[in-house]
Copies of this chain bind each other. A is one copy, B any other.
């Protein structure tokens, strides 16, 4: 169970930036639940279906903490989440998977990017410098699960490997577009960006974010043996 720092959070009521931040995290966690639950129904066997279903369920755990943080700043988590709710439907419509492996790669890539976005935007500190959120982005084990399941398949099938690498490039383009759109529509999120250098202009911010997210994506594709 994640911890909150009640005493500090209470000193910062109704901050609009905090509302946008908890809304983002809540939305991503709920979206991860929904997409993993849907993926599970398409799994090729019951064992994988149960494993992915359990990972889906794990994504909901963070909502308790986010509800608490929202309440502390006088906000409603569900209202905060509502402003994000159409974004992923667009993503899904633009990236219909052709088979099970494309579905797996789509979720692997998209939720990798969104989890990195959550990490990049998690410098939610109270005035005394202590973090307001802990462990929202707990490792669900999904990345390791996909690497164990898909890695050997990719290694043994050059044609599939080439197709999924191409598919991964298409998906990550859409996912980076989503990340950029989330920030453009919720500019207060920038105040939680965990960067050492200062922001200079809007163009710089976008380029910096793209670089952060692309690095994580390249690492994940490398783990699968796919060219990013």
Give A residues with C-beta under 8 Å from B: 30, 33-34, 37-38, 40-41, 45-47, 49-50, 53-54, 56-57, 60, 63, 78, 81-82, 85
10 additional contacts (CB under 8 A) given A34-B53, A37-B56, A46-B81: A30-B46, A30-B49, A30-B50, A30-B53, A33-B53, A34-B40, A37-B37, A37-B38, A50-B60, A53-B60
Measured CA separation A63–B54 after assembly (Å) = 10
Q: Name the 6 nearest CB pairs between A and B, nearest first.
A: A57-B57, A37-B37, A46-B78, A47-B78, A46-B81, A34-B41
Query: In the complex, what distance in Å separates the CA atom of A81 from the CA atom of B47?
Result: 10
Please report the C-alpha to C-alpha distance between residue A113 and residue B34 in the assembled complex, in whole angstroms: 25
CB contacts (< 8 Å) of A45 on chain B: these are: 78
Set B38, B47, B57: member contacting A38, Cβ < 8 A: B38
A54 & B60 in contact (Cβ 8 Å cutoff): yes
Give the residue name and chain of the B residue nearest to A36 (CB).
Answer: B37
Bound complex: CA of A82 vs CA of B49, how far in Å?
A: 12
> Is the contact region of chain A dominated by helix, strand, or loop, or is it mixed?
helix
A53 contacts across to B, CB distance below 8 A:
30, 33-34, 37, 60
Q: In the bound complex, what is the Cα–Cα distance between A89 and B54 (angstroms)?
A: 21
- CB A58 to nearest CB in B, in angstroms, measures 8
- Determine the chain B residues whose CB is within 8 A of the CB of A46 once the complex forms: 30, 78, 81-82, 85
- Complex-state Cα separation, A54 to B34, whole angstroms: 11
A9 CB to nearest B CB, Å:
21
- Interchain CA distance A56-B45 in the complex, whole Å: 20
Q: How many angstroms between the C-alpha atoms of A60 and B57 in the bound complex?
A: 8
Closest residue of chain B to A85, judged by CB? B46
Residues of B within 8 A of A34 (CB): 37, 40-41, 53
Return A212 CB to nearest CB of chain B, in Å: 28
Report the separation of the CA atoms of residues A60 and B50 in the bound assembly, to the nearest whole angstrom.
8
* CB of A123 to closest CB in B, whole Å: 25
Q: What are the residues of chain B within 8 A of A30 when measuring CB–CB?
A: 46, 49-50, 53
